[in-house]
Amino acid sequence: MKLRWTAVVIVAICAAAVATDAWAAGTPGQGTWETSLQPRDLDNNGSADAFYDTALGITWLRDANVDIPGAGRPRAKVRADVALAWADQLVVGGYDDWRLPMMVDTGSPGCSFSEIGGTDCGWNVQTKEGDKVYSEWAYLWYAELGNKAHPCVEGPCPAQNTGPFVNMQMNEYWFGTFHGVDPDIYWVFWTGSGYQVYCVKSCVAYVLPVHPGDIGVPVVPEPSSYALLLTGMAALAWVGRRRSRSRRATTQDRNSPDRATARPAERLSIDPSHRSPHRQASVSAGLRLSRNAAMPSCWSAVPSSLD
């Protein structure tokens, strides 16, 4: 019974390790987001509401799909004029002065399309050169999140790294920059493929607002799943050590002179082949638990007697 409850506790620790993360399901080691996007608490509740972008000097809201009044339904895409008005009136934790991300219309006014990059429109667009920022969305997507352009306009797009953000959609997001010729046309960035283009403001797209500068209070990240996994492994090792000590103590007791003198018949009649099935299963499970204590997989250490 003790073995059963110990295994249950270990399984719970492993499940917590699998389910817990630092901020979101970002891809470690891809891009610079782990160092350039620093968590900020805006409402003094101890959790990250936004991320200060040390490269761009702006603060991104963490939730990439908030509810917007006038959208018609929760977390829906909105028109450009609705998105602009909403961002202008947004207040989070007492902080106002929010806006939509910006980009620079380079070359001739409007879209200078290119598939290979180096322009303001298409894939692999201009992002940042020195202190000159050409596209806040594109720099976040290509440089900080480390994503690659993928021309999937006509079909499903591959999974992309969304870093520490939550509710990020693989779809169009509004810029706050209008077309160089027509003020009724605004630029959008498609996170599904890294595509930057424009659309009339009657189109609908998602919204991720930004705030100038560094706002809020720095937040210490939550324990990562790796820390919880190490805790589970330490628990496994401890259980294996305790059972090993218990078996040694039992063996020493059986082989002691007092036991041999007082109950010789019982000592001599012990035969491993005659042990009860319950005892054999318990000892076998304990041996497996001890041997598996250093294995990286939590589930492989659970005794088969629980199956």
Kindly report, residue by residue over 78-99, the tens digit of the pLDDT.
Answer: 999 999 999 999 999 999 999 9
Tokens, residue 115: 């598939």
What are residue 145's DSSP bridge partners?
none
Quickly tell me which residue has 């249950």 as its tokens: 8
70: left (phi over 0), alpha (psi -120 to 50) or beta: left
Say how many CA atoms lie within 13 Å of 167 toward its Cβ.
Answer: 15
Q: How far apart are CA 146 and CA 137, in angstroms?
A: 12
Tokens, residue 84: 């602009």
Residue 257 pLDDT: 55
Cβ-based neighbour number of residue 57 at 10 Å: 13
Minimum mean pLDDT among 105-114, 147-156, 243-252: which range? 243-252
φ, ψ for residue 81, nearest 5 deg: -65, -35
Please choose, from the candidates 10, 11, 37, the residue with its C-alpha nearest in 3D space to the C-alpha of residue 24.
Answer: 37
Residue 8 pLDDT: 37
Q: How far apart are CA 246 and CA 240, in angstroms?
A: 10
17 Cβ partners below 8 Å, 6+ apart?
Answer: 225, 226, 228, 229, 231, 232, 298
More reliable by pLDDT, 180 or 261: 180
Q: What is the mean pLDDT of residues 135-157?
A: 85
Minimum mean pLDDT among 17-21, 149-153, 185-189, 229-233: which range? 17-21
**Going along the chain, which residue ranges are E strands?**
37-41, 50-53, 58-61, 78-79, 113-114, 121-122, 128-129, 132-133, 172-178, 185-190, 195-200, 204-205, 210-212, 217-218
- The residue type of 143 is A
Q: Using the 8-state DSSP alphabet, how is residue 222 labeled?
A: P
Kindly report, residue by residue over 54-78, the tens digit of the pLDDT.
Answer: 999 999 999 999 999 877 778 889 9
What are residue 173's DSSP bridge partners?
189, 206
CB 177 within 8 A of CB 137: no
- The residue type of 102 is M
CB 135 within 8 A of CB 141: no
φ, ψ for residue 88, nearest 5 deg: -65, -30
5 Cβ partners below 8 Å, 6+ apart?
Answer: none
**What stretches of the chain show up as alpha helix (H) in DSSP?**
2-19, 33-36, 80-89, 136-138, 225-254, 257-262, 264-268, 277-291
Query: Taking 60 as the threshold, does the pLDDT of residue 274 lie above it?
Result: no
148: left (phi over 0), alpha (psi -120 to 50) or beta: beta
Residue 296 pLDDT: 33
The strand order across the sheet containing 113-114 reads 113-114, 121-122, 195-200, 185-190, 172-178
Q: Band of the pLDDT at 201, cuts 50, 70, 90?
A: confident
* Vertex 155 angle, CA 150 and 159, to 5°: 50
